[in-house]
Structure formats: C-alpha cells, structure tokens
Amino acid sequence: MNPWRLDWVLILFSILSVLMGVLVLHSGGEAGESYALRKLVLMIPGIAIMIGLAFLNYQKLGAFAPVIYSVALFFLAITLLPFIGTKINGARSWIRIGPLGLQPIEFFKVAFVIAMSRYLILRETEIGKLKELVIPGILTIIPAFFVALQPDLGSSMILFILLFILLFIGGANQSVLFGGAIVGFFSIFIPLYIEYERYIRVYDVIELLKDTQFKVADAVRILKFEVWHFLEHAADAQKSMEDSSLQAWAVKTLTTEENRTIFLAAAEEARKANPDFLRDFLNSNTAMLITIGISLVLYIVGQFSYLFIKIRAMKSMSTIMLIITLSLSGGFLLSRAADFKPHQVVRIVSFANPDKFPQGAGYQLRHSLITLGSGGAFGKGLYQGDMTRGKTPFLPEWHNDFIFSVIGEQLGFFGNLFTLFLLFGIVFRGISIALASKDDYGGILAAGISFLFFSQIVINVGIAIGLFPVTGIPLIFVSHGNSSMLANFAALGILLNINRRRFINA
C-alpha cells in the first residue's frame, strides 16, 4: 500500500481556496485582518484532520455511522440551551469553547452524509419502497427542526437538499421524490407569497393615506412591514407601547380603533386597485377548499379507473391530482396556521424585490450587487476595496455570506471566475472519485460529500448575485467560518480516503 496515493489536485484546490479567502479577508480592512489570521492558523489543524481521515478506512466510519450521527445530533440540540449555546447575529447556533466558537451544524452535515449513505447501503434492495423513506425522513426532520429553532433556515434547507440527492442516488422511487419536492415547495411558497404580497401593499397604503391621514401614514411608514404583526398581536403591541421610542408612538397610534379601521380600509382599497388573481385565489378559503376538493375527487376517480377499468392513462392523472391536492392542502394549512415573524418573511422574500426592502436582507443584497459590480473585469486590486472598511462597512457580513462579492470588488470578474474554478474543481474531483469507487458505500458517500460542497457553493454565490434569499450559508473554504472550514477539511479527508482505497479494493 502506497501511503502517498493521495489526490494532490484535490488537496491543492482546497488549500488554494483557503488562501484565496485569507488574502481577501486580510485586504478587506481591520476586522478582516483578524479573521484572516485566525483562518490561516486553523488551516493547519484542518489539514491535519484531512490527512488523518485520508488514512482511516472509511468503512469503519460507516460501521459507526449511528454513533457519529447521534453524537453530532446531541451537540446540535444542546446549542438551543441558553447556558450552553451562544447567540450570534440572532441565531443560537454556536458553542463557545474558550476563545473558540464551534458551530455544530457544520459538522452535522458531514455526519448526516455518513449516516444516510450507510442506511442506503443497508436498505439497498428495499429503498424503492415507500415505507423505506420513513426513517430517512425522520433522520432529516429532527435535526432540521433543531436548526430551524436556532433559527438557521439555510442549513435546514441544505439537509433536505442532501436527503433528496442521496435518496435519488440510492435508488429511491423517483416519482415519490419529485412529487414530495413539489409538495414541499408549494407548501412553503403559498404562505410566503401571501405574506410577501401583504407586505408590499404597505407602500400603497402609505401613498393613499399620506395626504388625508398623515398621522396614520407616518405610523405605517415607521413600522413598515411590522404593521401587520402589531395589528394581529395585541400582547406584542402592548409591550412595545411601554417603550418611549418612535416605534412605540407608531404602535400606539395605529392600534387605536379609529386608526386601525382607517388602515384596514386603505389596505382593502389598495388591494382592489391592484387586482391579482393568484393572490386573491390563495387568500380565499372558499376557492382553495373547492379546488382541493375537486382535485381530491379527480384523484379518487383516477385511482378507481386504473384499478377497476385498467385505464393506464388515469394512473398518471391521479398522481398529478394527488400532488396538486397535497401541495394546495399544505400551503393552505401552513398559511392559515403559521405565525410568521416579519423579519423571517422579509429575509426570505427580499431577494425577489430588494428595492422594496431597503433594510435588513434587502439592504444586504442591494449592497452586495453594488460591491460585486464595482470591481469590473479586473477589480480594484487587493487592499484597494472600500466597501468593507470602517466600523460600519458598506456591505454587512462581507466576510462570510458575501465574500464572493468582495472577491469581485478586489479581483474583478476574473477573480470570481478563478474562485469558481477552484471550488467546482473540488466538486468535480469528488464526483470522479464517486464514479471510480470500487464499492457502493464509497460511491454514495463520495457523491453525498460532493453535492454537499456543490449545494453550498451554488447557494452562497446565488445569494451574492440575488438568485436566492439571504440564508447565511458560507462559501466553502473561502468564507470566514472556522467550523465550516474544519468540517469541510474532514469531508475532504473522507474523499481522499475513498480515492486511496480504490487501489486496495481493485
């Protein structure tokens, strides 16, 4: 056995990606210099973890998959405890160990791939059956629930993406997978669309009231999208009024019976002045229930036609009707039962129209696009960027969520292109290792890790250019995020191990 049968291209690409992050962080300003130094120092134990796992038989990881999953889930769960978990940027997703902060979800992602890959191999001959998807679903929903409570919606989404990809690779029923994905998408899309439309209508209300009811218009202008929250939650409104801030005045003004009536009348007038069939349909209990009932009846008719009359075309029709029924039912129930916080909805939907959301996530996205475009083809040069400097930088969270935009500012379009070459090079090497693996477990495990990398790259870059909502997913190896870097090096070590052992298993 040759101990140096390592994929040196994979190692080189990962180290160059880290150094790219160190360089851009260090040139981003005083705050970035400390991040860069910490990243450079922690790269050493990261490489040590990678090399150690490269020489540990990945089959042993599979044998201990339940233990690895359980331990990772335990650390994920205890972050929710106030005396253990540390809240940073509004999310209790960190555990502080001395001067270091660890984010358990980053390590759980790798543990999840290890455990799910092992399960798929153990149930290889049965995974096509619907009942075999119950356990994978439970193994995903439990950690996703913990992560959502932090809250970290981006990482929850990553877990479901990984579940879908691994089940697809493992041979699960594709109709069920894609049908489930469609149902999940519309169950979330419907309530978010309703909330988005309602928030956008606030601007129309201000325009209607500013000349005749300027006091109410000022209150709405101060509260913006939170106006709905305070109108619907008397306890929160009362608590807010105990303050002496401008917001307290706005809440007190708006929640009087007279002004509340004025606002709701203006909101209804604005709705009628801007007809929208989809909005009105989704908001109508009658229309939704009738549509759900019709699609359910058509599903039942299709099933009977297929089972008793043997009309094969009716099987496809009934499947489509079932997906429609479940999608509309999920969206209907969630939109009527869920209590969305204004900042949660704005964070998710602001990417669709950032100019309408000048604060928070909309602000970040607009400034990300400005920063990204300011570098042109070749960039302003290292240490020449001005979007990340000062106590209140032009681009918030530039060192993590939006580092791709900072690369664009400093190194331009070609700097972004080189970064993507390195990162997708890691993904493609991982996929080639999966295809070359001599056993199914190694193949699924390598593919899972590769798509873990791929999904995080696509989401982070998509956030920076406005294709996805701001979800806090770091750019692998490049962003400041030491837990992410260490976890990614561990995943890389497993890839190297699978690649090495294919020569032994040949």
**What is the count of structural domains for the chain?**
4
Establish if 100 belongs to a structural domain: yes
CB 225 within 8 A of CB 359: no
In-domain check, residue 184: no
Q: What is the pLDDT of residue 340?
A: 67
- For residues 291 and 269, membership in a common domain is answered with no
**φ and ψ of 86, to 5 deg:** -110, 130
- Are residue 116 and residue 232 in the same domain, yes or no? no
Q: Are residues 365 and 506 in the same domain?
A: yes
263: its two tokens: 């606002």
In the prediction, which pLDDT does 255 show? 84
C-alpha span between 430 and 442 (Å, rounded): 11
Task: Say if residue 268 is in the same domain as residue 297.
Answer: no
In a domain, 399, yes or no: yes
Q: Is residue 431 part of a domain?
A: yes
Half-sphere exposure of 465 (CA within 13 A, CB side): 12
Instruction: Determine, yes or no, domain membership for 352.
Output: no
> Within this chain, do residues 506 and 362 fall inside the same structural domain, yes or no?
yes
Same domain for 218 and 82: no
Q: Which residue has the tokens 């106590």?
A: 391
SS3 content of the chain, % helix, strand, coil (to 5): 75, 5, 25
Domain shared by 8 and 65, yes or no: no
- Is residue 86 within 8 A of residue 95, CB to CB? The reply is yes
Same-domain pairing of 506 and 382 = yes
- CB contact burial 32-42 (16+ within 10 A = b; e otherwise): beebbebbbeb
Give the pLDDT of residue 2. Answer: 58
Residues 439 and 299 in one domain: no
Are 430 and 465 part of one and the same domain? yes
Residues 365, 473, single domain; the answer is yes
Residues 381, 459 within the same domain? yes
List the domain range (segments joined by +) for residue 329. Answer: 284-337
pLDDT for 110 equals 94
Segment (H or E) for 95 = strand 91-97
Q: Is residue 182 part of a domain?
A: no
Q: Which residues of the chain have pLDDT under 70?
A: 1-4, 85, 87-91, 98-99, 244, 338-344, 346-347, 349-362, 390-392, 503-506
Query: Is residue 119 a contact partner of residue 499, using CB atoms and an 8 Å limit?
Result: no
Is there a domain that residue 234 lies in? yes
Q: Which of 276, 307, 325 is the last residue of a domain?
A: 276
Domain stop point among 228, 255, 276 = 276
Last residue of a domain, one of 229, 244, 276: 276
68 is a domain residue: yes
Structure-block tokens of residue 418: 């080189």
Show Cβ contacts of residue 16 under 8 Å, excluding neighbours closer than 6 positions: 422
